[in-house]
Amino acid sequence: MAVGTAEILDAFAALSAVSWTDPADFREALAATIAKSQEDRQVFDLLFERFFFRAAEAGALEHQIREQRDEGGDRLDLEQLREAIREAIAQGQEGQMRDAARLAIAAFGRRGEGSGVVGVDVQRIRRTLGLQISGRDAEGEESRLERQQIQAFERHLRRELERALIERTQAMPPARPLAELDRALPTSPTQDLAAVHRAVAQLKRRLATLGHEQRGRKRASAVDMRRTMRASLETGGVPLRLKYRPKRPRRPEIYVLCDVSTSVTSASMFFLSVLHALHDSFRKLRSFVFIERISEVTEVFERERDFREISRKISQEGGVADVSGYTDYGRVWLEFIEQISEDLDPRSTVIVLGDARTNGREPHADVFARISERAGRTFWLNPEPRLYWNYGDSVMAAYERHCDAAFECWTTKHLENFVNVIAGGKPVVE
Amino acid sequence: MTDHEQTSVPEVKAALEGAGYLADESAALVSYLAQELGKPVLVEGPAGVGKTELAKALSRATGRSLIRLQCYEGLDESKALYEWNYRKQLLRIQASEDESWEDIFAEDFLLTRPLLEAISSSEPVVLLIDEIDKTDQEFEAMLLEVLSDFQISIPELGVIEARTHPIVVLTSNNSRELTEALKRRCLYLWLDYPDVDREIEIVRLHAPELDDRLARRLVEVINMVRQLDLKKPPSIAESIDWARALLLLGAHDIDRAMFERTMSIIVKHRTDIDLVAERVGVRLAEEGKYRLAEGA
A chain contacts of residue B26, beta-carbon cutoff 8 Å: 28, 31-32
**ipTM (interface predicted TM):** 0.77
Of A7, A28, A35, Cβ closest to residue B29: A28
Whether the predicted pLDDT of B43 surpasses 90: yes
What digits encode the pLDDT tens for the residues A311-320?
777 766 655 5
* pLDDT (average), residues B141-152: 87
CA distance A244 to A247: 8
Interface with B, mutate which of A16, A27, A36 (most B CBs under 10 A): A36
Q: Specify whether the CB–CB gap between B46 and B56 falls below 8 A.
A: no
Residue B84 vs residues A309, A383, B110, B154: alpha-carbon distances, Å: 48, 53, 5, 10
Residues A260-271: tens digit of each pLDDT: 776 666 677 777
Chain A contact present for B141, CB below 8 A: no
In A221-261, where does DSSP find H-type helix?
A: 225-232
Residue among A4, A41, A148 whose CB faces B195 most closely: A148
Asked if B138 has any chain A CB less than 8 Å from its own CB, the reply is no
* Cα distances (Å, whole numbers) of residue A126 to A118, A136, A266, B266: 12, 18, 36, 34
What are A35-76's pLDDT values in tens digits?
888 778 878 887 887 777 666 666 666 665 554 444 444 555
From A17, A92, A148, residue closest to B36, measured CB to CB: A17
CA distance B208 to chain A (A): 25
pLDDT in tens, B56-80: 999 999 999 999 999 887 788 888 8
Question: Could you read off the pLDDT of A83-129 as tens digits, one per residue?
Answer: 777 777 777 666 777 777 777 777 766 555 556 666 777 777 777 77
More confident: A310 or B15:
B15
Kind plus residue range of the DSSP H or E element containing B172: strand B167-172
A38, closest residue in chain B (CA to CA) = B190
- Of chain A, the percentage scoring pLDDT greater than 70 comes to 63
Task: Find the residue in A nearest to B8 (Cα).
Answer: A18
Looking at residue B67, what is its pLDDT? 93
Q: Among A152, A150, A122, A155, which Cα is nearest to A134's?
A: A150
Q: Model confidence at A425, in pLDDT bands (50, 70, 90)? A: low
B176 vs B165 pLDDT, higher one: B165
B30, B177, B290: residue with CB nearest A280? B177
**Cβ within 8 Å of residue B114, ≥6 positions away:** B67, B68, B69, B80, B127
Name the closest residue on chain A to residue B174, using Cα atoms.
A305
- How large is the average pLDDT for residues B48-56? 89
| CB neighbour list of residue B57: distance below 8 Å, 6 or more residues apart | B16, B19, B20, B21, B23
pLDDT given at position B55: 93
Nearest CA-CA distance, residue A392 and chain B, Å: 41
Q: Does residue B75 sit in helix, strand or coil?
A: coil
Q: Please, what is the average pLDDT of chain A? A: 71
Q: What is the pLDDT of residue A59?
A: 67
Exposed / middle / buried, residue A144 (Cβ in 10 Å: 0-12, 13-18, 19+) = middle
Q: Taking 90 as the threshold, does the pLDDT of residue B170 lie above it?
A: yes
Point out the residue among B26, B84, B188 whose CB comes nearest to the CB of A36: B188
Q: Residue type for B69, please?
A: L
Strand residue runs (E) in A22-153? none
pLDDT the model gives residue A175: 43
| SS3 state of residue A376 | coil
> What confidence score (pLDDT) does residue A92 get?
66
C-beta of residue B265 within 8 angstroms of C-beta of residue B259:
no
pTM above 0.95?
no
Residue B126 is predicted with a pLDDT of: 93
Q: Is the pLDDT of residue B106 over 50?
A: yes
pLDDT band for position A136 (cuts 50, 70, 90): very low
* Beta strand extents in A266-376 (DSSP E only): 285-290, 294-296, 348-353
Rounded-to-integer distance, Cα B132 and Cα B186, Å:
13
What does the CA dihedral B228, B230, B235, B238 come to, rounded to 10 degrees? -90
pLDDT of residue B66: 93
- How far away is chain B from the Cα of A7, in angstroms, using its nearest Cα? 7
DSSP category for residue A263: G
Interfacial residues of A (vs B; Cβ cutoff 8 Å): 2, 4, 6-7, 10, 13-14, 17-18, 24-25, 28-29, 31-33, 35-38, 40-41, 92, 136, 146, 148, 197, 201, 226, 229-230, 232-233, 236-237, 280-281, 283, 303, 305
What gap in Å lies between CA B96 and CA A244, rounded to an integer? 29
DSSP for B223-261, please give it.
HHHHHS--SS---HHHHHHHHHHHHHHT-SS--HHHHHH
Of B37, B42, B180, the CB nearest to A14: B37
Q: Given CB atoms, is B183 within the 8 Å cutoff of chain A?
A: yes
